[in-house]
Amino acid sequence: MKSKNASFTDLALITFGVIGLEVILVLIESLVYNNLHIENQGVVHNLVHWTITCIVWGVGVWLLHNYAKKSKNFDLFEAKERPTRKTILAVFLLLLLSLVISISTWNFRFKPMVEFNNMMICYGESGVLAFIFQYIYYIFETALIVLIIAFSQKAGEDKFQNKKFPWGGVFLGITWGLMHVLTKDLQVGIMCFVISILFGIVFLLLRKNIRYVYIAIFLMFVL
């Protein structure tokens, strides 16, 4: 890491890699269950997986935040400017736009309701617990998404000397979007890219105040 720019780019890539650790966890879990001859326990396996994933992601967020603060003098919580009414309105409109995109992607259905129904169908009475754990999982995933945006936005600003362009959203769209193209399909990948750009715009609109940014992006992500 010879240059400051490369450093923040690396941090963004490492953060994206932390999200990818879930794939490794799935492989490890499969090996453990097979070696111990444990049959698929349905909801129990998913709860264990989500719990372990959240722990790994939480540790990753903590380590990356501390590294950026101590080694790069980059405090994610430094920005404390409160949003104006106009900013709140703009963010609300972007939230509505992301909701429209989400509903159209989910065959014109409300994502949380679809996920809740799926959990109830798959796990019966345990579906409520599974649904709650899934959204706790989303809380940690959102934290990593915000980190990627923050680090890559800083990298873009240092590289191109432009603080008004959503570099973080573009970087997230390329990485997160490509991942969904490979694991899902092209349509989902494009949707993720568009949503990522909206995330990046929200990050700038809210003056990089992580407290407000996190809440806004979480709502846009889960809805």
Say if residue 5's pLDDT is above 50.
no
| pLDDT single digits (tens) 167-185 | 999 999 999 888 878 777 7
d(CA 49, CA 204): 34
| pLDDT single digits (tens) 115-142 | 999 999 988 889 999 999 999 999 999 9
Say if residue 55's pLDDT is above 80.
yes
Confidence of residue 212 (pLDDT cuts 50, 70, 90): very high
Token representation of residue 22:
């879930």
The total of structural domains in the chain comes to 1
Instruction: Output the CA angle 62-154-86, nearest 5 degrees.
Output: 95
d(CA 149, CA 200): 7
Among residues 209, 200, 214, the alpha carbon closest in space to that of 164 is found at 200
d(CA 187, CA 197): 16
Instruction: Specify the higher pLDDT residue, 5 or 189.
Output: 189
| pLDDT single digits (tens) 142-159 | 999 999 999 999 999 999
Domain around 27: 4-222
Can you give the pLDDT at residue 39? 54
Per-residue CA distances from 169 to 43, 145, 199, 202 (Å): 34, 10, 6, 9
Q: Could you tell me the sign of the dihedral formed by the alpha carbons of 122, 142, 152, 23, in that order?
A: negative
Q: Is 0.85 topped by the overall pTM? A: yes
* Residue 63 burial (CB count, 10 A): 12
Burial class (CB in 10 A: 0-12, 13-18, 19+), 217: buried
Mean pLDDT of the chain: 89
Token representation of residue 140:
């940690």
Can you give the pLDDT at residue 108? 85
Per-residue CA distances from 115 to 4, 187, 205, 209 (Å): 42, 19, 30, 30
| pLDDT single digits (tens) 80-93 | 889 999 999 999 99
Say if residue 209's pLDDT is above 90.
yes
